[in-house]
């Protein structure tokens, strides 16, 4: 048995009911060390098994659930899993990662990943237990929310410890930004992976295993885990999250003018103080929730929320939902935001896309593009908290104006016409996160260039390396070759170099399914400890250089997939609003410059050895990354 991974991929064709197991190392002994897991492994199956040009919501899409070679080891931060498919929002690579317990349990059940093809005739779920998989009828689960689905499956399987990743009504109704929710709390939020599940009539994947992960050096792992447990709160970011959750960053971000508000018309949010993470903590905090083998306990459960009609089992609101529905829609009613967070988790809706799409609708309404006739009489003025919960319900059920908004901002704007595109804050069809790109230029550039669409977790943020950043962060990134502080709004060739290196870090972390709240550059574990831990789990003599190459490999694979699907460099395009100066607050007057963004994009392509016009990686680059098999795909695509 290898160390860290199981060596088995479960294959399921839900059209035919065929289930089989593949052992990739039998034909390629370097398979796991080349692709590692998570989103890199997912990119491999997308490239190999999806016919070019298929509709993301057709049976031809391939859906991958992937842990990594280190997931489930008895150490902090190695808990994530990725869901990967062609995205119904972008038409390119879709992926979403979540923490919790599902990823480790998949490994304990005997598999590193599940690859699902086809479409079931009627609703089904897949149950996996100790190396055995079964397709089960889910007709009675169809229509249930994510919490109820989890409870019913556990009862049906007779095991309350079963881990369940499922969709709610949003996924069933093919809302393009529907998410996957595991154990009623942890969300694979972005790029519409829940809609892909819904399109396959796949309600859930339940996993249970009694196995454990073999590791190369358990005492070394124990030492690193003990050190984390004793000291992680010495890292102020980890401590802030432990004390008051990710929503505790809201106050700082708002005071510093770093958060897009009112559909990115400003970075000022009048009601910020009323909906801070500290407020939630003081009024409603019940208990912390750890992830598997991780004491950082970033998630939390609330109490006294019955008066808000909130089921506490869905967990406390995270930063994304507070920003997207609070700042984005100008909602300062804390009760409504807590309930809205619960509804998104209950129905399986990406928090960010939901909030940004509602903010889009509000701006359309204020400019007469949407009227009360379209909204069924609802007043969609910014700040009107009374419509938010109804709107979320309508989106999840594709009812009323919700049917339009379920398409996401890009498609809704195309349907509406009348200049609605001006109000659609998306790149490639995926809604922009609320960390304002004008105030963090490297992050903003990554919004344009990320192969999975704009993602605030695609690169560490500029403000972590500017003049005010902690010395610790600069010490950490020195090992990558980043030595100089740079202004958050700077977009120079040196900043592009910084993007390349830091993007590769986050890219390999998504391939190894490492939690970005546990590892470098800005959390407790340093790069040296990360490498040490991975080596201790796998028994491989791993280096940071090797991991950076994994990150670069994933980015190239995803770029090739996108190009093959017709996403050209022209679609690496930010919304026009980023070029308008911020109107008030600490960043008043700040805007991105179109010329600088274009030059930075060109520099990025050249640094990556990608053709600046076509976007294709050079054949030499593909071979250098041991992706020689993509050279033929490149010539086929360019011939076609
Ligand atoms: S750092 Fe937080 S989110 Fe990450 S694995 Fe640990 S508890 Fe979970």
Q: What is the CATH number of the domain that holds 383?
A: 1.10.569.10
Q: Which of 299, 303, 297, 355 is nearest to 330 (CA)?
A: 355
Cα of 276 from ligand 1 centre, angstroms: 21
Q: For residue range 536-590, what is the model confidence (pLDDT) as tens digits?
A: 999 999 999 999 999 999 999 999 999 999 999 999 999 999 999 999 999 999 9
Q: Are 78 and 183 contained in the same domain?
A: yes
The verdict on residue 169 lying in a domain is: yes
For residue 1, pLDDT over 80 is answered with no
Note the pLDDT of residue 29. Answer: 96
User: Could you tell me which residues come within 8 angstroms of residue 243 by beta carbon, excluding any fewer than 6 positions away?
Assistant: 281
Q: How far apart are CA 77 and CA 488, in angstroms?
A: 28
Write down which residue in 208, 231, 258 finishes a domain. Answer: 208
Write down which residue in 431, 457, 476 finishes a domain. Answer: 431
The verdict on residue 239 lying in a domain is: no
Q: For residue range 302-329, what is the model confidence (pLDDT) as tens digits?
A: 999 989 999 999 999 999 999 999 999 9
Q: Are 483 and 403 contained in the same domain?
A: no
Atom of ligand 1 at shortest distance to CA of 77?
5
Q: Are 502 and 393 contained in the same domain?
A: no
Note the pLDDT of residue 101. Answer: 98
Q: What is the CATH number of the domain that holds 607?
A: 1.10.599.10
Write down which residue in 158, 182, 208 finishes a domain. Answer: 208
Altogether, the residues listed in the chain come to a count of 640
- Local confidence band at 162 (pLDDT 50, 70, 90 cut-offs): very high
Total domains in the chain come to 3
Q: Are 174 and 319 contained in the same domain?
A: no
Atom of ligand 1 at shortest distance to CA of 295?
7
The verdict on residue 635 lying in a domain is: yes
Q: Which of 133, 127, 151, 104 is nearest to 204 (CA)?
A: 127
Atom of ligand 1 at shortest distance to CA of 79?
5
The CB of 291 under 6 Å from ligand 1? The reply is yes
The CB of 457 under 6 Å from ligand 1? The reply is no
Distance of CA 363 to the CA centre of its chain: 26
Q: Are 409 and 445 contained in the same domain?
A: no
Quick one: how many helices (H) and strands (E) in the chain? 25, 16
Note the pLDDT of residue 248. Answer: 85
Cα of 174 from ligand 1 centre, angstroms: 30
Q: How far apart are CA 369 and CA 361, in angstroms?
A: 9
CB of 311 closer than 8 Å to CB of 337: no
Note the pLDDT of residue 279. Answer: 87
Q: How far apart are CA 75 and CA 72, in angstroms?
A: 8
The CB of 518 under 6 Å from ligand 1? The reply is yes
The CB of 513 under 6 Å from ligand 1? The reply is no
Q: Per-residue pLDDT averaged across 8-17, rounded?
A: 98
Q: Per-residue pLDDT averaged across 64-76, rounded?
A: 98
Q: Are 391 and 509 contained in the same domain?
A: no
The whole-chain average pLDDT of the chain stands at: 96
The verdict on residue 28 lying in a domain is: yes
Show the tokens assigned to 572: 């690496």
CA–CA distances in Å: residue 191 to residues 83, 157, 391, 436, 537 = 10, 30, 20, 19, 31
The CB of 99 under 6 Å from ligand 1? The reply is yes
Cα of 135 from ligand 1 centre, angstroms: 31
Residue 458: domain span: 441-639
Nearest CA to ligand 1 atom 3: 298
Specify the DSSP class assigned to residue 128. E
CA–CA distances in Å: residue 468 to residues 463, 474, 488 = 8, 11, 10
The verdict on residue 519 lying in a domain is: yes
- Local confidence band at 639 (pLDDT 50, 70, 90 cut-offs): confident
Note the pLDDT of residue 276. Answer: 85
Share of the chain above pLDDT 90, in %: 93
Q: Are 62 and 111 contained in the same domain?
A: yes
For tokens 């977009």, name the residue: 491
Q: Are 415 and 446 contained in the same domain?
A: no
Pocket mutation for ligand 1, best pick of 298, 319, 512, 529 (most atoms within 8 Å of C-beta)? 298
Phi, psi (5° rounding) for residue 129? Answer: -145, 120
Pocket mutation for ligand 1, best pick of 101, 290, 533 (most atoms within 8 Å of C-beta)? 290
For residue 640, pLDDT over 70 is answered with no
For residue 469, pLDDT over 70 is answered with yes
CA–CA distances in Å: residue 510 to residues 34, 39, 200, 427 = 14, 6, 25, 20
Q: For residue range 245-260, what is the model confidence (pLDDT) as tens digits?
A: 888 888 889 999 999 9
Q: Per-residue pLDDT averaged across 449-453, rounded?
A: 98
Cα of 188 from ligand 1 centre, angstroms: 14
The verdict on residue 233 lying in a domain is: no
CB of 518 closer than 8 Å to CB of 453: no
The CB of 391 under 6 Å from ligand 1? The reply is no
Cα of 68 from ligand 1 centre, angstroms: 16
Atom of ligand 1 at shortest distance to CA of 232?
1
Note the pLDDT of residue 624. Answer: 98
CB of 170 closer than 8 Å to CB of 189: no
Q: Are 15 and 143 contained in the same domain?
A: yes
Q: For residue range 261-297, what is the model confidence (pLDDT) as tens digits?
A: 999 999 989 898 899 888 898 999 999 999 999 999 9
Q: For residue range 322-364, what is the model confidence (pLDDT) as tens digits?
A: 999 999 999 999 999 999 999 999 999 999 999 999 999 999 9
Q: What is the CATH number of the domain that holds 171?
A: 3.60.9.10
Q: Are 58 and 190 contained in the same domain?
A: yes
The verdict on residue 436 lying in a domain is: no
Q: Are 58 and 159 contained in the same domain?
A: yes
The CB of 509 under 6 Å from ligand 1? The reply is no
CB neighbours of residue 434 within 10 Å: 28
Nearest CA to ligand 1 atom 2: 298
Helix axes 277-284, 236-244, angle to 10 degrees: 40
Helix (H, G, I), strand (E, B) or coil at 302: strand
CB of 69 closer than 8 Å to CB of 4: yes
The CB of 77 under 6 Å from ligand 1? The reply is yes
The CB of 79 under 6 Å from ligand 1? The reply is yes
Cα of 508 from ligand 1 centre, angstroms: 17
Atom of ligand 1 at shortest distance to CA of 523?
1
* Angle (CA) 485 490 494, round 5°: 65
Picking from 50-54, 164-168, 265-269, 625-629, which range would have the lowest pLDDT averaged per residue? 265-269
Show the tokens assigned to 539: 């028994």
Cα of 143 from ligand 1 centre, angstroms: 31
Q: Are 127 and 266 contained in the same domain?
A: no
Prior bond of 521 cis (ω within 30°): yes
Picking from 110-124, 270-284, 310-324, 605-619, which range would have the lowest pLDDT averaged per residue? 270-284
Residue 9 exposed, middle or buried by CB count within 10 Å (0-12, 13-18, 19+): buried
The verdict on residue 1 lying in a domain is: no
Flag whether the pTM goes above 0.95: yes
The CB of 392 under 6 Å from ligand 1? The reply is no
Residue 147 exposed, middle or buried by CB count within 10 Å (0-12, 13-18, 19+): buried
Q: Per-residue pLDDT averaged across 503-511, rounded?
A: 98
Residue 122 exposed, middle or buried by CB count within 10 Å (0-12, 13-18, 19+): exposed
Nearest CA to ligand 1 atom 7: 297
């Amino acid at each position: 048995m290898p160390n860290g991974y199981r060596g088995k991929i479960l294959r399921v064709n839900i059209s035919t009911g065929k289930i089989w197991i593949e052992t990739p190392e039998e034909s390629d002994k370097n398979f796991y060390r080349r692709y590692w897991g998570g989103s890199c492994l997912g990119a491999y199956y997308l490239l190999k098994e999806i016919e070019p040009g298929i509709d993301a919501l057709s049976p031809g899409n391939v859906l991958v659930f992937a842990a990594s070679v280190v997931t489930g080891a008895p150490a902090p931060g190695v808990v994530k899993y990725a869901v990967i498919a062609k995205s119904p929002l972008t038409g390119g690579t879709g992926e979403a990662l979540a923490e919790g317990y599902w990823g480790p349990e998949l490994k304990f059940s005997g598999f590193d990943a599940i690859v699902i093809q086809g479409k079931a005739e009627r609703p089904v779920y897949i149950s996996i237990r100790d190396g055995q998989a079964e397709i089960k009828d889910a007709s009675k689960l169809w229509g249930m929310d994510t919490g109820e689905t989890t409870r019913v499956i556990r009862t049906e399987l007779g095991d309350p410890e079963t881990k369940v990743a499922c969709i709610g009504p949003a996924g069933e109704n093919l809302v393009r930004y529907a998410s996957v929710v595991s154990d009623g709390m942890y969300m694979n939020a972005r790029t519409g992976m829940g809609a892909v599940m819904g399109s396959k009539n796949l309600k859930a994947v339940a996993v249970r295993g009694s196995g454990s992960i073999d590791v190369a050096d358990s005492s070394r792992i124990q030492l690193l885990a003990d050190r984390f447990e004793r000291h992680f709160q010495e890292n102020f970011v980890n401590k802030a999250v432990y004390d008051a959750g990710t929503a505790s960053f809201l106050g700082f971000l708002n005071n510093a003018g770093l958060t897009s508000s009112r559909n990115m018309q400003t970075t000022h949010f009048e009601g910020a103080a009323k909906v801070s993470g500290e407020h939630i903590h003081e009024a409603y905090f019940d208990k912390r929730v750890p992830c598997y083998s991780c004491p950082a306990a970033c998630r939390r459960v609330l109490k006294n929320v019955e008066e808000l009609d909130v089921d506490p089992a869905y967990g406390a609101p995270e930063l994304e939902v507070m920003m997207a529905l609070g700042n984005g829609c100008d909602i300062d009613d804390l009760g409504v935001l807590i309930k809205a967070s619960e509804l998104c988790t209950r129905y399986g809706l990406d928090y960010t896309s939901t909030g940004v799409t509602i903010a889009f609708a509000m701006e359309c309404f204020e400019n007469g593009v949407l009227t009360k006739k379209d909204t069924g009489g609802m007043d969609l003025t910014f700040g009107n908290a009374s419509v938010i919960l109804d709107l979320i319900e309508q989106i999840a059920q594709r009812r009323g104006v919700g049917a339009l908004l379920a398409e996401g901002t890009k498609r809704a704007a195309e349907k509406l016409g009348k200049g609605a595109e001006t109000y659609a804050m998306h790149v490639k069809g995926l809604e922009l996160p609320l960390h304002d790109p004008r105030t963090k230029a490297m992050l903003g550039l990554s919004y344009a260039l990320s192969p999975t669409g704009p993602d605030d977790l695609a690169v560490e943020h500029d403000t972590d390396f500017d003049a005010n950043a902690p010395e610790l962060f600069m010490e950490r990134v020195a090992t990558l070759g980043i030595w100089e502080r740079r202004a958050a709004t700077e977009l120079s060739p040196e900043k592009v170099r910084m993007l390349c290196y830091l993007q590769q870090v986050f890219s390999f972390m998504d391939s190894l399914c490492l939690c970005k709240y546990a590892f470098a550059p800005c959390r407790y574990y340093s790069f040296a400890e990360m490498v040490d831990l991975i080596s201790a789990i796998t028994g491989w003599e791993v280096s940071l250089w090797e991991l950076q190459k994994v990150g670069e490999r994933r980015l190239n694979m995803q770029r090739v997939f996108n190009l093959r699907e017709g996403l050209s460099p022209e679609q690496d395009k930010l919304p026009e609003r980023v070029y308008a100066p911020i109107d008030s607050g600490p960043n008043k007057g700040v805007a991105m410059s179109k010329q600088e963004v274009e030059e930075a994009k060109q520099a990025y392509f050249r640094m990556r050895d990608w053709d600046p016009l076509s976007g294709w990686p050079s054949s030499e680059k593909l071979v250098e990354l041991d992706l020689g098999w993509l050279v033929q795909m490149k010539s086929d695509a360019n011939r076609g």
